[in-house]
């Protein structure tokens, strides 16, 4: 059996050498390659590659390219000869969702799988990551914590992300202005990456908007491990007229950088969700962070004029 295998290997090597015309390379001795011929066929760098092997060098850069994070999701169909191409192009231009990705047999294309794994890894990093201290320092935001304790507990016990720790309450009472007209609160929520990516654009724009409407702002701060309803506890402590919470949203597979702005008039414990107003999907491929900051200021001014928020607010 072994002799037959050696004979076949030697025959294949001889045929390849004959076809490729390696005049400059000395023909390897069939006897000397006995037993290692298959390995040399796969790894010999000087051998002229056959047509199927020429794709290997061009595939490696493509894999690295798709593993790298992209700023803009691809909007290209891979469906061969679609029956309604115009309709498919219209769908692709209207959403960054994964449509028209096609398949290889019953499985997704390798490219699609790599992009899914990349975006899933970014989502996990966003949930378990921490907001950059440099970003908080840039806006002089001090940190208070909720009773979440750790990320695993935060995911399992949303109620613990709604209440500040005793130390957090003490810090707010010592360092924050009481009964401000507008209170700004920032929280990591479910995506620390969203705060890192958007706060530097949203917050300056919001402050400019408040100034243009003649509104005054209290002492902004950062809540680590905060849920949306943490604004109710903050409202009980500082008693602002209106409060806006800039919080990282649950990451998806399109982006992990989505931020939301939840706003309410006279926040307090026991508020129902219909009393909150929200601007969601704030990121580079969604609502522009700069435009969102300006729009938040407009909505807050209307809340103060109408003394209402949520479904009672007329926009």
Enumerate the known binding-site residues for adenosylcob(III)alamin.
228, 249
Beta-strand ranges (E) seen in 151-294 are 182-187, 221-224, 242-248, 259-265, 277-282
- Cα–Cα distance, 93 to 115 (Å, whole number): 19
Angle in degrees, 0-180, between the axes of helices 192-212 and 110-128, rounded to the nearest 10: 70
- Please give the full DSSP string across 291-305, using - where no structure is assigned: HHHHHHHHHHHHHHH
- Cα–Cα distance, 238 to 243 (Å, whole number): 10
Nearest to 33 by CA among 58, 7, 59, 15: 7
Positions at the binding site: 228, 249
- Cα–Cα distance, 39 to 43 (Å, whole number): 6
Q: Other CB atoms closer than 10 Å to residue 92's CB: what's the count?
A: 16
- Cα–Cα distance, 307 to 155 (Å, whole number): 34
């Amino acid at each position: 059996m072994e002799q037959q295998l050696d004979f076949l290997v030697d025959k294949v090597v001889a045929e390849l050498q004959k076809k490729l015309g390696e005049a400059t390379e000395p023909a390897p001795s069939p006897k000397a390659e006995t037993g290692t011929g298959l390995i040399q066929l796969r790894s010999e760098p000087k051998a002229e590659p056959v047509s199927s092997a020429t794709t290997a060098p061009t595939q490696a850069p493509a894999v690295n390219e798709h593993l790298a994070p992209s700023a803009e999701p691809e909007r290209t169909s891979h469906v061969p000869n679609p029956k309604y191409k115009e309709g498919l192009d219209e769908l692709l231009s209207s959403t960054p969702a994964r449509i028209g990705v096609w398949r290889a047999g019953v499985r997704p294309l390798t490219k699609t799988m790599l992009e899914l794994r990349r975006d899933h890894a970014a989502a996990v990093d966003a949930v378990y990551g921490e907001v950059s201290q440099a970003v908080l320092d840039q806006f002089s935001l001090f940190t208070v914590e909720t009773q979440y304790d750790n990320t695993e507990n935060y995911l399992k016990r949303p109620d613990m992300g709604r209440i500040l720790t005793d130390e957090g309450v003490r810090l707010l009472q010592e360092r924050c202005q009481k009964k401000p007209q507008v209170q700004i609160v920032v929280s990591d929520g479910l995506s620390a990456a969203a705060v890192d990516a958007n706060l530097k654009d949203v917050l300056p724009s919001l402050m400019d908007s408040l100034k243009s409407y003649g509104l005054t702002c209290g002492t902004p701060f950062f809540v680590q491990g905060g849920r949306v309803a943490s604004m109710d506890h903050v409202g009980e402590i500082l008693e602002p007229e209106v409060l806006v919470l800039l919080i990282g949203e649950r990451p998806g597979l399109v982006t992990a950088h989505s931020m939301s702005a939840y706003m309410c008039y006279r926040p307090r414990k026991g508020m129902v969700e219909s009393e909150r107003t929200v601007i969601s999907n704030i990121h580079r491929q969604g609502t522009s962070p700069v435009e969102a900051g300006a729009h938040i200021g407009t909505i807050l001014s209307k809340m103060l004029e109408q003394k209402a928020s949520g479904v009672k607010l007329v926009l």
